[in-house]
Structure 1
Amino acid sequence: MKAVAIILAAGEARRMGYPKALIEHEGGKSFLQSLASTFGKAGCSVIGVIGKDAEAVRDQHPTIHLVENERWQDSQLGSVKAGLEAAVEDGADVVLIHPVDMPALRATTLKSLIKALGDSVEGIRPEFEGAPGYPVILSRGAAERLREKDSGETLLEGALKGLQVRRIPVKDPGVVVNINTPETYERLFGSAPRPAPPPKRRGKKAEPTAAPASMEASSEGLPGT
């Protein structure tokens, strides 16, 4: 069974001051690099969907499979569909959809969620303390239906209403924590948002460190993708 993770990173991120895909998370890694590593540890192939500042994101992430949504300003769902098309073409049996500004989830959580996706439902998503989280995990059939859906919806949350998506309680706060404002970033890491260093200068020192399990959780919908 081939699992493909779609990381949504096409938005403008005006509040953060930098493209979210480029912002430093831990160990000199960007949000996008950190998530790609986590999904990779869970056995997933990774596709990043980019839009705003696409060239800069490509330069920073030469080893990640990136697809560009040239009409990223039109709707969030457009970026989702661009990722779904690439994932289906890549032979995905299972598709995971995740926003780039939620980089704190654990690989062990992903492994458990993928295992929990059975034949009885079209998809699942985690919840933490009753709040729905990400990634949204869909069967290939559900992913294809979502890709073809033309209901006038612009956001992923609205488009999911027509699918059977079951919520799975998890103990990982990373599934609901959005780092989508400078205030949230500074509260978690102790500094203003900053871009990750270029790949050739990336070091091993973990600064800032990953947010602890006690971090404040947010249950907002898919932010700024």
Structure 2
Amino acid sequence: MEIAGLVLAAGAGRRFGMPKALVPWRGRPLVVRAAATSRAAGLARTVVVVGAAAGRVRAAAPDLDYVENPAWQTGMASSLRAGLAALAGTPAAAVVVLLADMPGVTPAAVRRVTALASPTALVTGGYAGRRGHPVLLGRDHWEGVAGSATGDRGARDYLRTHAGEVRVVPVGDVADDLDLDVPGDMRALDLPGDVPEAVTGHA
């Protein structure tokens, strides 16, 4: 069964002062780290959705597989729809959604949620009883997610509506889903070193 990775990296990062996809961490942009996390977890292919500063992101990491979201200013939901549409023509039975501005989500966390993957699955990471990233969406749910996603809420409304179907896998011991909103947030990160230092191309 093929599982894809979907990295959402289209935001302008206004509060941060620059597109967060391009924020450097240990010598490489966060978008590269997110793609490397997907690959290190063994996902079959990784699609990166870009919008703000799309040309700069492509130039910084030219070997990634990109989809451009021309409506990125409307929020994360449009990027999620663009990514799911791009994957609709692939054999992927499920997709793991990763956010470029959550570098604490690790390959180990992704592997835990993919262990429950199926076309009908809805799986999230769990942090001391709280649902968080990574999020796995089985293919049977893609149309519903795309149709219900609005603004910056992504798949949250769909997951709430289908709460009885969502499986939560504890990942707090191997990951941190801190969202980097401002530069000071980076000081709170204590990232494990299990992500490869480079990533090229896609499977």
Q: 1:175 offset after TM fit, Å? A: 4.1
Structure 2 residue aligned with 1:158: 157
Structure 2 residue aligned with 1:211: 191
- 2-structure distance, mates of 1:172, 1:59: 35
Aligned pairs for 1:34-113 (under 5 A) are 34-44=33-43, 45-113=45-113
Q: 1:118 offset after TM fit, Å? A: 5.1
Give unpaired runs (5+ residues) of structure 2.
194-203
- 2-structure distance, mates of 1:172, 1:30: 25
Q: Give 1 or 2 for the bigger CA radius of gyration.
A: 1
The answer as to whether partners of 1:24 and 1:31 remain within 8 angstroms in 2 is yes
SS of 1:38's partner is helix
Report the number of matched residues. 188
Q: 1:131 offset after TM fit, Å? A: 2.1
TM-score (norm 2): 0.83
The answer as to whether partners of 1:126 and 1:170 remain within 8 angstroms in 2 is yes
Please tell me the root mean square deviation across aligned C-alpha atoms, in Å: 2.1
Give unpaired runs (5+ residues) of structure 1.
190-209, 214-225
- 2-structure distance, mates of 1:160, 1:152: 10
Deviations 1:84-123 (A, max 9, x none): 011222221111112110012221221121012357x530
- 2-structure distance, mates of 1:152, 1:176: 20
The answer as to whether partners of 2:125 and 2:134 remain within 8 angstroms in 1 is yes
- Structure 1 residues 168 and 152: CA distance shift in structure 2, 3 A: closer
- 2-structure distance, mates of 1:25, 1:61: 14
- 2-structure distance, mates of 1:31, 1:25: 6
Deviations 1:150-192 (A, max 9, x none): x47332122332333221222336342222211112x247xxx
The answer as to whether partners of 1:109 and 1:170 remain within 8 angstroms in 2 is yes
- 2-structure distance, mates of 1:212, 1:19: 23
The answer as to whether partners of 2:109 and 2:174 remain within 8 angstroms in 1 is no
- 2-structure distance, mates of 1:153, 1:18: 23
TM-score (norm 1): 0.76
Query: What residue identity is the alignment partner of 1:142?
Result: H
Q: Identity over aligned residues, as a percent? A: 29
Query: What residue identity is the alignment partner of 2:47?
Result: I
